[in-house]
Structure 1
Amino acid sequence: MSARPHLLYTAWSFPPSRAGGVYRALATVNAFAESGWEVTVLTVPRRLLEESTGTDERLEARVHPRVRVVRVDADVPAFQNDISAWPRRRARHQEIWKLSDLWRDLVRFPEPNYGRWRPSLERAAEQVHRSHPVDLAIGTANPHVDFIPGWHLERRYGVRHVMDYRDAWQLDVFSGRKLITAIPAVGRWERRMMSTATEIWFVNEAIREWHASTHPRQAARMRVVPNGFDEYEAPLAVPVRDDRASGLTFGYIGTISPKVPLVALLDGWRIARASSPELAGARLAIYGYLGHFGGADAGFAAALERARDDGVTFEGPVSKATIGETYRGLDALVLALGTGRFVTSGKVYEYLATGVPIVSVHDPSNAATEVLRSSPAWVATRSLSPSDIAEALAGAARMSASQTDGERRAAQEWARRFERRRQLAPRIAALEALVSR
């Protein structure tokens, strides 16, 4: 038996998943492994990822060799896309079948589609603990059923556990209102699990404050553990592009979800390109997926097609492992986010690491504004009106065209504070001290 402390980490989204939360999960387990921990991960089978969000095989190669991955089956009908394999009752009466199937989740855990995973996770956590005693369990959400193994091991064996919220279970981070899925059982389960957690992590102060006011008895154990940037095969700190004088290239990298103000961005781009000399001949390259799941969203694809005459191109997804190469070809970065004072986005930290000028295309009240506020390479929009977006794009063009090598390096140095390991190091040290006692 190893003398190293043993972490059990639960994440629905884990490599080779390409879902947004996978990067925090990967960085966390790697940071613990590099700090001397043995790590076991509970996650879903590869086939489920292939049938839902899609996969990034190169990302899987970044998992630390001391991390053991245990894939726990999760029978989730929402991701079963082969209609020929459906039961006859489901194929003929989909809505009735969906309502009756929902009960399979709610009787186990109050989370549609994912609640049924609870029994399998509890069994898997026990098996891991029996074969190699667990010193600490962390679950990262969503889904929030990821918190179950830690809560279960604490209840049965006194294992310390941490709840890592990438989002929120009851709070709509865009509207600031409670989610429709925040039924009374959700509140009860959240209080139950928080009451036994050693620490509770949130990605920004606004979300932490909301939860502290909702669960005041647990506020003292709540921590802000921001997202950060990760470097893989290609460095993120890229140089100023040599041939920018022949025409600037703006870039957006990330999933285009319904919350992203894509239409407003394209309208603002059209105005700016037609009226600003700095944007003459410029192009806007969109990288990523059109929607969270495998197939491209038809509405997004149509909007991008209409914008082709304005110098907008859709380049498709890029591997996170080599994303630094993509940044080398860009002169300005577009940070387009959904509106909400609780919204930060992990992408903002990666953008900052490059030192490339950033233009914000999101509401100024977003939590991301606080991260960017003192950056030496940032241009904000006053609102999401096309004219204000156009003005911000023109300002970013001027900054991009004039940025010197020294200014680029200064922006990169300023951003080093957001390296992911720096964000995690204090918490790993504190938790290691606790379990060693």
Structure 2
Amino acid sequence: MTTCPRVLYLSFYFPPSRASGVYRARATANHLAVAGWDVTVFAAPLKFLYEAIGSVDEKLAETVDPRVRVERPWLSQFVWASDIREFSRLRRNSPMLALALYNKTQRFFPEHYHSWGMASVAKALRMHARRKFDVVVATGNPFAAFAAAYLINKFTGVPYIVDYRDAWTLDLFEDRPLFPAGHGAWAWEKRVLRQASAAIFVNEALRQWHAERYPSDAGKMMIVPNGWDPDVLEEGAATHRSVPPLRFSYVGTLTPAQPVREMVEAFVEARNHPSLAGATLNLYGHLGFFRSGQGRLMQAIGIDEDNRVGGADTGIVYRGPVSKTEVAHTYAESDVLVFLAGGAKYVTSGKIFEYMANGKPIVSVHAPGIAAAEVLAGYPLWFNADSLDPVDVAQAMIAAGKAAEDLTPETRERALAHARRFTRDRVLIPFEQKLRALVAERG
């Protein structure tokens, strides 16, 4: 009888979390379970998700393969705690001393999630002693997961792979190092990459940046792009509707890093065109990733008490969040999808894959040269001004609206064929093969 290979997956943000990287994590765990792996996930404590950041999607948790075992190591919530009744006796009586002790613990690993990383190491060693893991996969952020994988390897010899679904030391939006020279993150990243069996990146731009900074480890770096999830979004389920007035939609989390102002100005300009008279733009999604910042975001984005954006006459309305499991209906009610993204060349965004799977016109509202352009190239219904000038973006919106009205079954099928290249299972095949090769090498 063949024993299933056993993988420990260090993924802090895992369902019911709704953090931006959770869909990649969910898909990875499910893919491995279906492929015959014994999968154990170490994730964030539920208390942190529900109480500290208030960021959950319970329906998404129901889509995790029942064969996946989820453990939730301890996390110190010192920096997130605000209720004095939950403070320790030491913190209530000697707050400065408690803060000094907390800061001292961060000297080992400079991240607020370090306690979760160390608790993960301890739990992994106990579980490994009872039944050995064959390989460890760590996804960041937080990057305490990478440190945990490194330490587990040091103690047990179990190989590990790190998955950079986000950048650790690069500011994606400013295209500059995130930390000053001498910061502890640099030393940790160097040792983690040196010891890792492979490092995964979501696009070529990110792989190249890290390869240039760590040339001796470039040979172990590979790309596993994001993708879309057929189990929660049936291909092409959002049928063609283009019934005037046209409905434009943005689906995704709204953040201050996105060019919302440019989008609003462009849409107002586009509505002056006869073909878009009365058109609406509906914004679906959460306001940021943490509950505490929602009020500030509403003000920054310009959402009034009636959920209108930019004023009463823009035609733009904030509709609130929609569950991942119910998003297909939202797409079905849309004619044109607006791809609003912050950052520049290092940003792909997982949402764009989901957009393409609907086979509808997509308008880009982002800086030129974004990494997502590599994915969208070849999609026949992509309308990109290659500019953030509102007049240019408005013209792209007008063209997309016309494409929605004139959409033929043949063009839509070409769009869906392009999207099929990026189903989660397809893009994860090389990753799963790499894991199997590592296990085979160890015998």
Pairwise CA RMSD of aligned residues?
Answer: 2.2
* Pairing partner for 1:367 from 344, 367, 371: 371
Percentage identity across aligned positions? 39
Instruction: Give matches, 1:402-413, under 5 Å.
Output: 402-413=406-417
- 2:355 and 2:219 map into 1 onto residues whose CA distance is 32
* Pairing partner for 2:334 from 307, 330, 333: 330
Shift of 1:97: 7.7
- 2:352 and 2:182 map into 1 onto residues whose CA distance is 32
- 2:339 and 2:84 map into 1 onto residues whose CA distance is 38
**Map of 1:218 onto structure 2:** 217
Instruction: Check if 1:124 corresponds to 2:128.
Output: no
- 1:84 and 1:386 map into 2 onto residues whose CA distance is 50
Question: Cα 1:360–1:89, aligned 2, differ >3 Å: closer, same or farther?
Answer: farther
Does the Cα contact within 8 Å between 1:14 and 1:26 map onto a contact in 2? yes
Instruction: Give matches, 1:23-422, under 5 Å.
Output: 23-51=23-51, 52-86=53-87, 100=100, 103-111=103-111, 113-180=112-179, 183-242=182-241, 244-273=242-271, 275-295=272-292, 297-302=294-299, 303-305=302-304, 306-422=310-426
- 2:93 and 2:158 map into 1 onto residues whose CA distance is 47
Question: Cα 1:239–1:69, aligned 2, differ >3 Å: closer, same or farther?
Answer: closer
AA aligned opposite 1:399: A
AA aligned opposite 1:291: G
AA aligned opposite 1:211: H
What SS does structure 2 have at the residue aligned with 1:309?
coil
Stretches of structure 1 that go unaligned for 5 or more consecutive residues are none
Greater shift in the superposed pair: 231-240 or 126-135: 231-240
What SS does structure 2 have at the residue aligned with 1:268?
helix
Does the Cα contact within 8 Å between 2:238 and 2:331 map onto a contact in 1? no
AA aligned opposite 2:370: N
AA aligned opposite 2:36: G
- 1:97 and 1:328 map into 2 onto residues whose CA distance is 56
- 2:356 and 2:181 map into 1 onto residues whose CA distance is 34
Does the Cα contact within 8 Å between 2:203 and 2:348 map onto a contact in 1? yes
- 2:106 and 2:2 map into 1 onto residues whose CA distance is 39
What SS does structure 1 have at the residue aligned with 2:170?
coil
AA aligned opposite 1:245: V
Could you give the per-residue CA deviations for residues 405-436 of structure 1, whole angstroms, max 9, x where no partner exists? 22212211121001111111112123213303
What SS does structure 2 have at the residue aligned with 1:241?
coil
What SS does structure 2 have at the residue aligned with 1:335?
strand
Question: Cα 1:101–1:392, aligned 2, differ >3 Å: closer, same or farther?
Answer: farther
- 1:67 and 1:131 map into 2 onto residues whose CA distance is 18
Count of aligned positions: 433
Shift of 1:383: 1.5
- 1:356 and 1:326 map into 2 onto residues whose CA distance is 13
Stretches of structure 2 that go unaligned for 5 or more consecutive residues are 305-309
Shift of 1:381: 1.9
Shift of 1:28: 0.5
What SS does structure 2 have at the residue aligned with 1:17?
coil
**TM-score, normalised to structure 2's length?**
0.92
What SS does structure 1 have at the residue aligned with 2:79?
helix
Could you give the per-residue CA deviations for residues 197-252 of structure 1, whole angstroms, max 9, x where no partner exists? 1110011100100101111111100011111111234414135433x232111100
